[in-house]
């Protein structure tokens, strides 16, 4: 395989948040040695003959910062033994605020981390407690300060909107605080209810109700309005970046570039085929200890699937999708509704209200293209 983009999944967390359905491993003590040994085995079993000249490297999770300063440094040493990391590569680490200290940041920066995405979610302590987060608002603010003081300025924070009405929360105050930090990048994700999570069980038992659609829409559009007014580009459904400070790694996904993936639940894509690893950390480790490839599944995309992905992924970004004259006639009603626009370049771009309807609009356009 040849790829310029690599994702590595680090599954460890101190505990599971109420909304989380990711592949995580809750550990009071992170088994750094075991994890890195398994990761090296996976690389040699599957990618001994691959060529990776990396433009982006993304350490996601889970909570990669749980590896600590030296653990992250060892992980990057492992990557460099098997791949070329370009001098100007974007190297991102996801971190929780409580893991950010002077020593850890200095170790991360020395190892080559040049971008950090902080899992803030809210600046309200009551909301953080309800979410089952392991930090408070002061720790989040301190994390931003420490990272900047010790040489990492390319920062992003994650925020979650759309909390149930029964959870007291001011989304406007969270946006005020985020804007006051003058960060390069902000991600805002709507709270979704997944079946096999504490939140999913509460909703199923009717102990809790999801946020009403109108409240969800209001908070999404409030973020769109305020962040763009402050100079951010709303360049993808959930992502806002200052000029030239968008996530290069995520753009690789949306452009359907080839990318490799290592670690439990990690996906990789060749441009035509996709494969993914076993989800559970213990299962992933056990298979590798037997020198087995921990693949969980794979698929070769049919032409119709490739077309559907191109439509969906293009429409979720501000790059948009080139449309033909008949398609332009079809989407005129979207334009009249304020959901989209078509520029002089004949590219269809969704508005904030259009992105709220992304799934149905992409499905509608895919259906139209399938008739050609």
Average pLDDT over every residue of 353-372:
94
User: What pLDDT shows up at residue 91?
Assistant: 98
pLDDT band at 371 (very low <50, low <70, confident <90, very high): confident
pLDDT band at 117 (very low <50, low <70, confident <90, very high): very high
Which is it for strands 267-269 and 260-262: parallel, antiparallel or unpaired?
unpaired
- Look up the CATH superfamily of 2-254: Aldolase class I (3.20.20.70)
3-class secondary structure, 20: coil
Which is it for strands 239-241 and 267-269: parallel, antiparallel or unpaired?
unpaired
User: What pLDDT shows up at residue 149?
Assistant: 97
Tell me the two tokens of residue 270: 């060749």
User: What pLDDT shows up at residue 17?
Assistant: 93
From CA 319, how far away is CA 77, in angstroms rounded? 35
User: What pLDDT shows up at residue 196?
Assistant: 87
The share of the chain scoring above pLDDT 90, in percent, equals 95
pTM for the predicted model, two decimal places: 0.96
Is residue 31 predicted with pLDDT exceeding 80? Answer: yes
- CATH 3.20.20.70 domain span(s) along the chain: 2-254
Closest CA to 92 of 6, 158, 171, 29: 6
What confidence tens digit (pLDDT) does each residue in 160-196 have?
A: 999 998 998 899 999 999 999 999 999 999 999 998 8
User: What pLDDT shows up at residue 11?
Assistant: 96
Which is it for strands 347-350 and 321-322: parallel, antiparallel or unpaired?
antiparallel
The share of the chain scoring above pLDDT 70, in percent, equals 100
From CA 166, how far away is CA 171, in angstroms rounded? 14
User: What pLDDT shows up at residue 197?
Assistant: 92
Cβ neighbours, 10 Å, residue 85: 18
**Cα-Cα-Cα-Cα dihedral of 104, 108, 111, 113, to 10°?**
180
Token pair 């000029």: residue: 243
User: What pLDDT shows up at residue 63?
Assistant: 96
Is residue 372 predicted with pLDDT exceeding 90? Answer: no
Torsion angles phi and psi, residue 58, rounded to 5 = -125, 120
What confidence tens digit (pLDDT) does each residue in 89-110 have?
A: 999 999 999 999 999 999 999 9
User: What pLDDT shows up at residue 361?
Assistant: 97
Average pLDDT over every residue of 286-304:
97
User: Whole-number mean pLDDT of the chain?
Assistant: 96
pLDDT band at 153 (very low <50, low <70, confident <90, very high): very high
Average pLDDT over every residue of 312-325:
96
3-class secondary structure, 330: helix
Cα distances (Å, whole numbers) of residue 217 to 163, 221, 223: 12, 6, 10
User: What pLDDT shows up at residue 168?
Assistant: 86
| DSSP code string of 56-110 | EEEEEES-GGGGHHHHHHHHHHHHHHHSEEEEEEEEEEEE-GGG--HHHHHHHHH
Q: Are 166 and 209 in contact (CB under 8 A)?
A: yes
Average pLDDT over every residue of 132-154:
97
From CA 252, how far away is CA 303, in angstroms rounded? 20
Average pLDDT over every residue of 71-76:
98
């Amino acid at each position: 395989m040849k790829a310029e983009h690599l994702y590595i999944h680090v599954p460890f967390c101190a505990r599971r948040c109420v909304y989380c359905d990711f592949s995580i491993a809750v550990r009071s003590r992170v088994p750094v040695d075991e994890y890195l040994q398994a990761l090296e085995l996976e690389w040699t079993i599957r990618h001994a003959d691959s060529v990776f000249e990396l433009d982006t490297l993304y350490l996601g999770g889970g909570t990669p910062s749980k590896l600590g300063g030296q653990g992250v440094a060892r992980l990057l040493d492992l990557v460099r033994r098997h791949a070329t990391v370009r001098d100007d590569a974007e190297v991102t680490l996801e971190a929780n605020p409580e893991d950010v200290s002077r020593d850890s940041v200095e170790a991360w920066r020395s190892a080559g981390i040049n971008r950090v995405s902080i899992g803030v979610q809210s600046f309200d302590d009551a909301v953080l407690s309800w979410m089952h987060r392991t930090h408070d608002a002061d720790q989040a603010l301190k994390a931003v300060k420490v990272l900047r003081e010790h040489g990492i300025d390319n920062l992003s924070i994650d925020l979650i909107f759309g909390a149930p009405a029964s959870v007291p929360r001011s989304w406007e105050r969270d946006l005020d605080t985020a804007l006051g930090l003058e960060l390069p990048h902000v991600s805002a994700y709507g709270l979704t209810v997944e079946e096999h999570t504490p939140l999913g069980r509460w909703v199923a038992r009717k102990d809790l109700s999801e946020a009403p659609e109108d409240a969800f829409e209001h908070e999404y559009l409030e973020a769109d309005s305020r962040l763009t007014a402050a100079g951010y580009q709303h360049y993808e459904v959930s992502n806002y970046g200052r000029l030239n400070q968008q996530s290069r790694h995520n753009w690789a996904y949306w452009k359907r570039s080839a990318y490799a993936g290592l670690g439990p639940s990690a996906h990789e894509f060749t441009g035509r085929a996709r494969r993914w690893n076993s989800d559970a950390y213990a299962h992933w480790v056990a298979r590798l200890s037997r020198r087995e490839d921990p693949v969980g599944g794979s698929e070769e995309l049919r032409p119709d699937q490739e077309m559907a992905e191109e439509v969906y992924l293009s429409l979720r970004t501000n790059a948009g999708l080139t449309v033909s004259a008949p398609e332009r006639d079809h989407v005129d009603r979207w334009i009249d509704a304020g959901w989209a626009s078509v520029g002089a370049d004949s590219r269809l771009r969704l508005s904030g209200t259009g992105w709220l309807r992304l799934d149905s609009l992409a499905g509608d356009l895919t259906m139209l293209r399938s008739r050609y």
